[in-house]
Amino acid sequence: MDNLKEIKSKLDTTVRDLNTYKELFESSFEQASVGMAQVFPDGRFTRVNQKYCDIFGYSRDEVLQKTFADITHPDDLELENDFIKRVISGGLREYSMEKRYIHKNGQFVWVNMSVKITRYDDGSVKYAMAVITDLTNMKLTQQSIEERELFANAIANTTPALLYIYDIEQRKNIWANDFHKKFFAKITDQSNELHFDDIVKLTHPDDLIVLTAKKNKLVKNPDYNRFETELRIKTKNGWRWMMHTVSAFKKDGQGVATQLLGAMFDLTERKKTINDLIQAKVKAEESDRLKSAFLANMSHEIRTPMNGILGFADLLKRPGLTGDEQNKYVGIIEKSGERMLNIINDLIDISKIEAGQMEVKISKTDINELVDYLSTFFRPEMEKKGLAFKTNFPATRNPLMFSTDREKLYAIITNLLKNAVKYTRKGSIEFGVSTSSTSVSTSSTSNLKADNGPVATEQGRNNELQFYVKDTGIGIPADRIEAIFERFIQADIEDKKAMEGAGLGLAISKAYVEMLGGQIWAESIEGLGSTFYFTLPDHSKVKTKTTSKKKILPEGEKANIRQLKILVAEDDETSELHLSIILSEIAKEVIFAKTGKQAVEMMRQNQDIDLVLMDIKMPVMDGYTATIKIREFNKDVVIIAQTAYALSGDREKAIEAGCDDYIAKPVKKDHLLSIINANFHYNYGKE
């Protein structure tokens, strides 16, 4: 009996212990801070604690009606099934994994799951106990960190700044963005990344002192956190300007920088742009200064001859003038008029050149004859100033023939000789020419447009002439030699030294030389003199178009035009009076029209008119239109266009409208009579 009592007592104690353990288990199971679940081999939940339910948002009853597969993320199901297969096969008693469940609200829940298997005595699976820890917040935080890192790297690697983090103790970069690596690899031919010390070695010596001083201050002074400086970096293509900004990235306990964050920006193009803007500003200011100087000079150049014209025209009104005085005054007026006309012609020529409408007329030119003529023309003026005049050109028995534009060559040399005379007060002037395999060309002429640069350069530089004009004048400052070939510029543009001239002669000469395929340049020593050189290629191989010239009537045949009836279409009273005086000496009758429309009507009423002097610019109807209408009913009358425009293309436009010839104002008597003679001889010859 005592044994039974003892056994019963032990059993009661065991039951009480088991109940205590059960209560402890149940309490621990329910109050656990992690999710716990008991799962049958078929995946059904047999029991779950509240934490497990809370993690997935389901009630306990809802969870117990599901299997683990129902709430597992599809992408993780295959992995867990693999573990389950290994459990069933008896090869696995416990396992752990990270997996995703599906919350009741549809969102993913990341967990860490540890599974322990309980088996029967025969080894078959009785149930599995799973413990899960919610990792969702940790995963989101990790994902956020990764995204921020990716974002930061994306910014760092797409910014045009060269970024790096430099560790002072290790003396190397612990990080650099892609742009930093590529930039220095490109400019230095070094494949390895450049560290801060490498950059210091490439820094311009003039900038190195500032960079080193600021870097040392940043490292040693806890209160100094950042600096920036502009510096030059040596590259394989020269120096490049950089803006270098450096900050203390990390500091030790004493506030001393241990790592530096650097950013560099390439300023080279910006510096160039700024410099270009500065140069453009300087050039614009220089242009304004030149413009002001030019306008002041032009005002002087125009007013001076106008003063001569108007002043001495007024003096001619004084009574009692002797014949010599009258002739002297008239001569001054003529000289002033010529000077005014030269200025106007220069302005017209430069306008044609600027517009690309200057024509080039190639013809056979006797260089010896041209040089002899210019020498004869300028010698008296030089002798008057006491200057010795020397010439140096080939002495040949036969004419030295050269194909070029004779008028432009004449203009080039004339401009150079005029300048030499103007700027030489004492000493000498020398004019010379040398040859290099020059060839003889045909005597025909052609009109070549110079719109697109030099013409007919297929012979290269083998057949060319080199001209020079040398003087002992005031010379040209070294910094002004290039400028003198620009428009409206003289070597000295200060008012106190400005000399007569519009500053267009050398610009026109340069343009003419280049049109003809040559080059022009100057050598000078200020105070000692200057030498101007230019070369011209021979254009004898240029295909030319022959044009016949009208023969000027001999003096004895001029009686032919004394019987002419002439219509003058002119709306300017001064020009009308001038023409009436000239024509009264040669014509039997002169009639006048003020407009193009009147000219057409007078032609209809006077079929016996022999010659029309047609002004181009008139009211009501211009001269071109009037000529076209006259040609509709009269093909034989000679029409000579007269215009004050004198621009390139005017002659061709007049001929196209139906005119026989063309004369530019101001009209000179001898020139007009020469044109009339030529046209009427040619006209009569056709009959």
DSSP-assigned states of every residue in 337-348: HHHHHHHHHHHH
Q: Are 219 and 208 in contact (CB under 8 A)?
A: no
Q: Say whether both 386 and 313 belong to one domain.
A: no
User: How many independent structural domains does the chain possess?
Assistant: 6
Residues 442 and 522 in one domain: yes
Quick check: 460 and 537 in contact, CB under 8 A? yes
Pairwise CA distance, residues 455 & 450, whole Å: 7
Q: Are residues 54 and 128 in the same domain?
A: yes
Q: Count CB-CB contacts under 10 A for residue 6.
A: 10
- Find the domain containing 309 and state its range: 273-338
Rounded Cα distance between 611 and 583, Å, is 11
Calculate the alpha carbon distances from 390 to 222, 375, 426, 428, 525 in Å.
83, 9, 14, 8, 20
Tokens of 255: 């506030």
420 in Cβ contact with 469 (< 8 Å): yes
150 falls within a domain? no
Beta-carbon count within 10 A of 537 CB: 27
Its pTM stands at 0.41
End-to-end CA distance of the chain: 176
- Cβ distance 18 to 12 under 8 Å? no
H/E run at residue 149: helix 136-158
Whether residues 563 and 669 fall in one domain: yes
Residue 285: give its domain's CATH number: 1.10.287
Note the pLDDT of residue 545: 40
Residue type for position 470: K
**Single residue among 338, 370, 392 that ends a domain in this structure:** 338
pLDDT < 50 positions in the chain: 437-462, 491-499, 543-559, 682-687
Is 253 found in the same domain as 130? Answer: no
Does a structural domain hold residue 545?
A: no
How far apart CA 555 and CA 586 sit, in angstroms, is 13
Q: What is the CATH number of the domain that holds 666?
A: 3.40.50.2300
Q: What is the pLDDT of residue 122?
A: 79
Alpha-carbon distance of 264 to 240, in angstroms, equals: 12
Q: Give the CATH number of the domain where residue 198 resides.
A: 3.30.450.20
Torsion of CA 341, 347, 350, 355, to 10 degrees: -120
Q: Do residues 247 and 278 share a domain?
A: no
CB under 8 Å to 518, separation ≥6 — which residues?
A: 454, 464, 534, 535, 536, 537
Cα–Cα distance between 596 and 82 in angstroms, integer? 110
670 burial via Cβ count (<10 Å: 0-12, 13-18, 19+)? exposed
DSSP H/E element including 561:
none
- Mapped onto helix, strand or coil, the DSSP state of residue 233 is strand
Query: Does some domain include residue 587?
Result: yes
pLDDT at 222: 84
Which of residues 210, 240, 266 is at a domain's end?
A: 266
- Please name which of 607, 387, 420, 449 lies closest in space to residue 530, comparing C-alpha atoms: 420
Return phi, psi of residue 676, to 5°: -65, -45
DSSP string computed for 318-339: STT--HHHHHHHHHHHHHHHHH
Residue 427 C-alpha from the chain's centroid: 47
Q: Is the peptide bond prior to 666 cis by the omega test (within 30 degrees of 0)?
A: yes
**For residues 355 and 648, is the Cβ–Cβ distance under 8 A?**
yes
Cα distance between residue 581 and residue 586, in whole Å: 10
Predicted confidence at residue 89, as pLDDT, reads 73
Asked if 488 and 371 sit in the same domain, the reply is: yes
Question: Residue 269 is encoded by which pair of tokens?
Answer: 């193009």
Residue whose C-alpha is closest to residue 360's, from 546, 462, 513, 520: 513
Q: State the Cα–Cα distance between residues 178 and 140, nearest whole angstrom.
A: 29
**Residue 626, domain member (yes or no):** yes
Q: What are phi and psi of 520, to 5 degrees?
A: -135, 140
Backbone φ and ψ for 569, nearest 5 degrees, come out as: -95, 105
| Per-residue confidence (pLDDT) for residue 569, from 0 to 100 | 93
What's the rounded Cα separation, in Å, for the pair 421 and 625?
47
Based on the domain organization, do 674 and 561 belong to the same domain? yes
Distance of CA 366 to the CA centre of its chain: 44
Is 543 within a domain? Answer: no
DSSP E strands in 413-514: the ranges are: 428-436, 446-449, 464-471
Instruction: Say which residues have a Cβ less than 8 Å from residue 235's Cβ, sequence separation at least 6.
Output: 187, 188, 202
Regarding whether 363 and 414 lie in a shared domain, the answer is yes
Is residue 149 situated within a structural domain?
no
CB 117 within 8 A of CB 94: yes
Pairing mode of beta strands 257-266, 162-167: antiparallel
* Residues 167, 124 within the same domain: no
Alpha helices in 356-475 (DSSP H): 367-384, 406-423
pLDDT of the residue at 248: 87
Tell me: do 401 and 529 sit in the same domain: yes
Write the DSSP string, 509-554: HHHHHHHTT-EEEEEEETTTEEEEEEEEE--TTS-----PPPPPPP
Question: What's the CA gap between 102 and 118, in Å, rounded?
Answer: 26
Q: Is the same domain home to 196 and 310? A: no
Contact 567, 599 (CB under 8 A): yes
Is 39 in contact with 114 (CB distance < 8 Å)? no
The rounded distance, in Å, linking the Cα atoms of 13 and 7 is 10
Beta strands 388-392; 401-404: pairing state: unpaired
Alpha carbon 628 to its chain centroid, in Å, reads: 46
User: How far from 330 is each of 216, 322, 336, 339, 559, CA to CA, in Å?
Assistant: 87, 12, 10, 14, 30
Residue 229 falls inside a structural domain: yes
